[in-house]
């Protein structure tokens, strides 16, 4: 027993030690309050405990949205977009349900005036940040709106799902063709293409069985589809490039291991970053890898063993881990560090 | 080890004959006359049964001989007073042979332990002839004033009474111990040890095999099986067949009486023992295999771990022991079955873990889950988790239908919360203008239907309609989905209907209209929002939180858990203790929830109730409030730790939200 406990303790500390090999993101503002930082360091969006969302610039702080204590904000944008999309979730800590809908606002980067554009979840900027998509789980409607003119937009009604907590992933190939991933009432997933001209949805790809989660990812004019298993014990993983004309192409990546996915495709042209599985003894562990879309070359860019997600934070790849954010070991990242106004804590 | 030398039934026949009939006057075949033609059944070394000689032919020939014997015996009923037992009394050898062919191998093994085991097996209906268990036996006996034995038919009990006068007298006392009035105490006196190794299991089985009580225990098992079969038959028997129904009813009654004084574990253990006497693997495997399914069948783990899932799989409300075995077999053979069963009626996160992961999780878990819930129809994880915690500590055992699966946890929360804080314990009310008092009144309610609770929506609305809208007090309000309600049909012309507009009606998301006798009712206002705090989220917290509610109602002690060592120690050393908390869904379930924003965290309550031995021993057994209660997942401790750390940064008081609780 004593041996077992000491081994467990050792294992626990070993994981922390691994995390220290990567530089950690540090900011002047408390990192946990930050909601968005522009790469040039000009704008910092952060929230207060009181329920307000604020915009900080070099010389000024302005209030963007005001709400009650316990309100949570998220901001979606991209490096190339002039817009930010704000999700405002009231009663965030008292209504513990992933379907809790948020009020969705649009604002220009660096400006404090906002327009409410709808209610829903999973808001994402699309097509170089000129469009936004979001989803309402109770009406099962995907809403797509232009950020420039919010009067322009359209809805996609989706069917009843066997998983009440399933939220479709959306990716606009162009202004006319929209890919989305959905689930039906039998629990089967499918990649669907919605054509705006005729308002029709067509199934492009349906994986066998129900243990395959489909995930969309786009960047640099390309769209990718990942198929990853829900069960973390077994199942294969695949990534394809897809296009509005041809649908699925040959897979650019296959693995017999259960990857998590959470792909980022808009950081470096020709590269997909994702959480990939590897075997460690009897166990399956995950780290972040980069995949070259040309030659399917893989490279590990973290060594955390439990890296399950990553985000593209206005051009900076970040790996959330134990309430901190780590910067992956990637050449471009190191270069990027020089031009960032934010600090990176190096391991000493 | 004797069973190892019994590779085939035909070979058993060869071995059993000398064992049974050598020695003992009663069993002596040598002395018995052979009044019936032996035909080809005689065991000839040149005609080895089952190998060179077809077993089917042997059975056929044996049955023919048995029928001849039975008709001969039936025509000569024995008179107890005329039989001279000093001249010998034995069962006719043809009947013994038929027992060899028709009795379960396990019971044959039991009956050949010694003479007394044989008689006890006979007494307990374990030995079967071609017509199953019969009340009469063909015997060879000699009547007074005669020298040659004859074939008689005798009542089985009378025969055993005669035998027990002469030998195996202790059997009589054993029989008394297993009678209805003494059964509970007798069963209680046994120790049903669970073996931990193969060697230990073999020794245990060997000890049981030589236990004189074993035939009586197996007799109990047979009565349970008979009762289960009778239950099935009864549903298929016409009500006019009174005699059959009465007979089946008495078998069911006997089974129920046994079930009342025995636990599921005891019944399953005895069952496994009685079926495994001829093959140690049948008994030992369930205890030694590292899977949950055989352990449930053997009674080592409780049946409620799978019975709700099994009910859905088989479409049955009541399960017999055989049904559990069927389900366990299918779960083992078809791992994907567990991902889908019950998903439609009890909405929850989908897909559920497969049977292989489920087996690993159930082996390590200890949460008491004798109910169903449906997280998909409830939109506040606090209510889901609170019901699960209350049900664990109070050992709640309730059948929950799909219609009420969200209602039951919500009513439970409302009732407990109102007990602690009658004024502000529950926020949802229906307000209306009382026409009699001309005042606005508000009544607390819980959305959804229930016949028994005064808080349920249908009951509260009925109360308002009766007092204010002239509804008859003998009518009820029915809750319907919009697609079920068709006003053009006669059944909807009269009465009260509460019609939900959307597919989902949750405590915070429900659009409804009320119709009484085809008229839309207006003037009812549904007020309040179902918002609760799990842990304190302000320093000056005045309203109760779930943490304080649990402490007050269950008198539980909470302890902060910070690392895997603490967690392991807490769960393993404290019998009923569980661990609960809140973490970010993106960390706990990364295959279901994608992170898209900086500092994104979807708060997700969960319960940890075990440490899995799978992989490196650092995986935990978790039920999030999105998961089906009967589908725990195995998640690396690191995911859990990351999720709680991430939620801490977003919590209003930066609270660490992982606590062990015990009472």
Domain-by-domain residue ranges, chain A? 1-22+168-348, 29-157
What are the CB-based long-range contacts (under 8 Å, 24+) for B195-200? B195/B284, B195/B287, B195/B288, B196/B287, B197/B288, B198/B284, B198/B288
Q: Residue B440 — pLDDT band, cuts 50, 70, 90?
A: very high
CATH number at A1-22+168-348: 2.120.10
Instruction: Give the burial class of A214: count Cβ atoms within 10 A of its Cβ; 0-12 exposed, 13-18 middle, 19 or more buried.
Output: buried
Contact between chains at B591 and A232 (C-beta distance less than 8 A): yes
Please check whether residue A240 is in contact with residue A218, taking contact to mean a CB–CB distance below 8 angstroms: no
Predicted local distance difference test score (pLDDT) of residue B481: 83
Please check whether residue A172 is in contact with residue A178, taking contact to mean a CB–CB distance below 8 angstroms: yes
The sign of the CA dihedral A220, A222, A223, A224 is negative
- Kindly list the residues from chain A whose CB atom is less than 8 angstroms away from the CB atom of residue B625: 96
- pLDDT (tens digit, 9 = 90+) per residue, B516-550? 999 999 999 999 988 899 999 887 766 789 999 99
Nearest Cβ partner for B595 among A75, A284, A309: A309
Instruction: Give the burial class of B169: count Cβ atoms within 10 A of its Cβ; 0-12 exposed, 13-18 middle, 19 or more buried.
Output: exposed
CA B501 distance to own-chain centroid:
38
Between β-strands B658-662 and B578-584, what pairing exists: parallel, antiparallel or unpaired?
Answer: antiparallel
Same topology, domains A1-22+168-348 and A29-157? Answer is yes
SS (H, E, C) B200-239: HHHHHHHHHHCCCCHHHHHHHHHHHHHHHHHHHHHHCCCC
Beta strands of B22-110 (E only): which ranges?
89-91
- pLDDT (tens digit, 9 = 90+) per residue, B96-140? 888 888 899 999 999 988 889 999 999 999 998 888 888 888 888
Predicted local distance difference test score (pLDDT) of residue A120: 97
Distance CA A217, CA A213 (A): 13
Predicted local distance difference test score (pLDDT) of residue B291: 85
Please check whether residue B578 is in contact with residue B385, taking contact to mean a CB–CB distance below 8 angstroms: no
- Kindly list the residues from chain B whose CB atom is less than 8 angstroms away from the CB atom of residue A233: 354, 356-357, 634
Predicted local distance difference test score (pLDDT) of residue B317: 82
Distance CA B588, CA B602 (A): 10
- Kindly list the residues from chain A whose CB atom is less than 8 angstroms away from the CB atom of residue B636: 283, 306
Q: Rounded to a whole number, what is the distance in angstroms from the first to the last CA of chain A?
A: 35
Please check whether residue A266 is in contact with residue B602, taking contact to mean a CB–CB distance below 8 angstroms: no
- pLDDT (tens digit, 9 = 90+) per residue, A193-205? 999 999 999 999 9
Between β-strands B477-481 and B496-500, what pairing exists: parallel, antiparallel or unpaired?
Answer: parallel
Angle at Cα B414 formed by Cα B375 and Cα B451, nearest 5°?
A: 80
Which residues are A89's β-sheet partners?
A72
Pick from B4-13, B599-608, B610-619 the range whose average pLDDT is largest: B599-608
Contact between chains at B617 and A96 (C-beta distance less than 8 A): no
Contact between chains at B603 and A313 (C-beta distance less than 8 A): no
Q: Residue B450 — pLDDT band, cuts 50, 70, 90?
A: confident
Q: Residue A172 — pLDDT band, cuts 50, 70, 90?
A: very high
Distances from the Cα of B370 to the Cα of B306, B385, B395, angstroms: 10, 15, 8
DSSP state of B534: S
| Count of CB atoms situated within 10 Å of the CB of B210 | 10
Nearest residue of B to residue A137, measured between CA atoms: B504
Predicted local distance difference test score (pLDDT) of residue B642: 95
Interface test with A, best of B597, B600, B639 (most A CBs within 10 A): B597
- Kindly list the residues from chain A whose CB atom is less than 8 angstroms away from the CB atom of residue B640: none
Q: Residue B223 — pLDDT band, cuts 50, 70, 90?
A: very high
Domain A29-157 homologous superfamily, CATH: TolB, C-terminal domain (2.120.10.30)
Please check whether residue B530 is in contact with residue B507, taking contact to mean a CB–CB distance below 8 angstroms: yes
User: Of B388, B350, B335, nearest to B626 (Cα)?
Assistant: B350
């Amino acid at each position: 027993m004593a041996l077992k406990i000491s081994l467990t303790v050792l294992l626990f500390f070993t994981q922390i030690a691994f995390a220290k090999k990567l530089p950690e993101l540090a900011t002047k503002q408390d990192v946990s309050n930050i909601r968005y930082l522009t790469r040039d360091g000009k704008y910092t969006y952060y929230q207060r405990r009181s329920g307000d969302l604020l915009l900080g610039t070099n010389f000024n702080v302005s209030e963007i949205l005001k709400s009650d204590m316990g309100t949570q904000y998220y901001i979606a944008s991209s490096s190339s977009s002039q817009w930010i999309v704000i999700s405002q979730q009231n009663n965030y800590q008292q209504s513990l349900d992933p379907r809790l809908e948020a009020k969705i606002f649009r604002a220009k980067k660096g400006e404090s005036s906002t327009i409410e554009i709808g209610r829903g979840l999973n808001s994402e900027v699309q097509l170089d940040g000129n469009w936004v998509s979001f989803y309402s789980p109770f009406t099962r409607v995907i809403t797509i709106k232009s950020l420039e003119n919010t009067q322009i937009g359209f809805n996609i009604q989706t069917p009843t799902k066997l998983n009440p907590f399933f939220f479709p992933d959306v990716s606009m190939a162009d202004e006319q063709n929209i890919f989305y991933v959905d689930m039906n009432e039998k629990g089967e997933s499918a990649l669907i293409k919605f054509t705006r001209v005729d308002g029709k949805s067509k199934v492009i790809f349906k994986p066998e069985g129900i243990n395959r989660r489909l995930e969309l990812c786009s960047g640099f004019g390309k769209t990718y589809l990942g198929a990853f298993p829900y069960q973390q014990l077994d199942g294969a993983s695949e990534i394809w490039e897809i296009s509005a004309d041809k649908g699925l192409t040959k897979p650019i990546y296959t693995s017999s291991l259960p990857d998590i996915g959470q792909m980022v495709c808009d950081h470096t042209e020709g590269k997909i970053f994702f959480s990939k599985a590897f075997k460690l003894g009897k166990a399956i562990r995950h780290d972040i890898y980069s995949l070259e879309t040309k030659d399917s070359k893989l490279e590990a860019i973290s060594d955390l063993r439990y890296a399950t997600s990553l985000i593209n934070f206005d051009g900076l790849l970040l790996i959330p881990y134990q309430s901190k954010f780590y910067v992956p070991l990637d050449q471009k990242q190191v270069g990027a560090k020089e031009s960032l106004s934010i600090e990176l804590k190096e391991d000493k | 080890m004797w069973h190892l030398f019994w590779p085939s039934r035909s070979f058993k026949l060869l071995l059993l004959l000398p064992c049974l009939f050598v020695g003992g006057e009663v069993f002596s075949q040598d002395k018995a006359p052979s009044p019936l033609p032996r035909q080809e059944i005689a065991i000839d070394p040149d005609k080895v049964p089952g190998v060179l000689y077809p077993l089917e032919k042997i059975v056929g020939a044996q049955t023919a001989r048995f029928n001849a014997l039975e008709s001969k015996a039936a025509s000569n009923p024995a008179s107890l007073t005329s039989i001279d037992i000093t001249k010998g009394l034995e069962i006719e050898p043809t009947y013994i042979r038929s027992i060899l062919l028709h009795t379960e191998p396990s019971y044959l093994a039991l009956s050949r332990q010694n003479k007394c085991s044989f008689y006890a097996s006979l007494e307990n209906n374990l030995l079967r002839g071609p017509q199953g268990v019969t009340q009469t036996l063909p015997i060879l006996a000699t009547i007074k004033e005669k020298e040659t034995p004859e074939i008689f038919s005798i009542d089985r009990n009378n025969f055993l009474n005669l035998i027990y006068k002469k030998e195996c007298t202790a059997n009589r006392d054993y029989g008394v111990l297993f009678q209805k009035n003494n059964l509970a105490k007798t069963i209680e006196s046994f120790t049903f040890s669970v073996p931990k190794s193969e060697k230990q299991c073999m020794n245990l089985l060997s000890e049981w095999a030589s236990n004189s009580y074993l035939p009586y225990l197996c007799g109990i098992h047979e009565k349970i099986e008979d009762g289960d079969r009778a239950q099935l038959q009864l549903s298929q028997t016409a009500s006019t067949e009174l005699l059959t129904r009465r007979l089946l009813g008495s078998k069911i009654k006997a089974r129920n009486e046994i079930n009342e004084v025995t636990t599921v574990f005891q019944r399953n253990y005895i069952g496994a023992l009685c079926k495994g006497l001829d093959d140690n693997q049948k008994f030992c495997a369930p205890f030694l295999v590292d899977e949950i399914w055989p352990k449930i069948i053997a009674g080592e783990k409780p049946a409620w771990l799978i019975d709700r899932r099994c009910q859905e799989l088989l479409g049955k409300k009541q399960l017999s022991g055989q049904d559990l075995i069927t389900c366990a077999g299918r779960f083992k053979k078809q791992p994907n079955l567990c991902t889908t069963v019950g998903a439609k009626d009890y909405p929850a996160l989908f897909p559920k873990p497969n049977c292989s992961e489920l087996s690993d999780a159930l082996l390590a878990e200890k949460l008491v889950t004798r109910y169903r819930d449906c997280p998909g129809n409830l939109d506040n994880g606090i209510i889901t988790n609170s019901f699960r915690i209350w049900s664990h500590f109070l050992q709640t055992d309730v059948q929950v239908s799909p219609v009420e699966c969200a209602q039951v946890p919500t009513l439970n929360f409302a009732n407990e919360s109102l007990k602690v804080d009658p004024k502000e314990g529950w926020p949802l009310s229906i307000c209306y203008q009382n026409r009699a008092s001309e005042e606005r009144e508000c009544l607390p309610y819980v959305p959804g239907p229930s016949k028994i609770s005064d808080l349920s929506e249908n009951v509260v609305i009925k109360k308002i309609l009766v007092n204010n809208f002239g509804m008859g007090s003998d009518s009820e309000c029915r809750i319907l989905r919009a697609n079920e309600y068709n006003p053009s049909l006669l059944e909807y012309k009269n009465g009260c209907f509460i019609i939900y507009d959307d597919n989902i009606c949750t405590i915070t998301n429900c659009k409804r209209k009320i119709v009484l006798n085809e008229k839309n009712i207006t003037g009812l206002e549904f007020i309040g929002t179902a918002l609760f705090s799990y842990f304190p989220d302000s320093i000056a917290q005045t309203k109760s939180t779930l943490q304080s509610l649990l402490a007050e109602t269950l008198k539980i002690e909470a302890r902060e858990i910070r690392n895997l060592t603490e967690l392991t120690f807490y769960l393993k050393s404290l019998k009923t203790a569980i661990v609960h908390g809140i973490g970010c869904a993106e960390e706990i379930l990364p295959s279901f929830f994608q992170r898209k924003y900086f500092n994104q965290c979807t708060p997700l309550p969960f319960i940890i109730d075990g440490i899995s031995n799978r992989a490196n021993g650092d995986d935990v057994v978790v039920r999030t409030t999105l998961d089906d209660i009967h589908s725990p997942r195995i998640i690396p401790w690191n995911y859990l730790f990351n999720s709680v750390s991430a939620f801490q940064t977003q919590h209003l008081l930066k609270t660490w939200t992982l606590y062990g609780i015990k009472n």
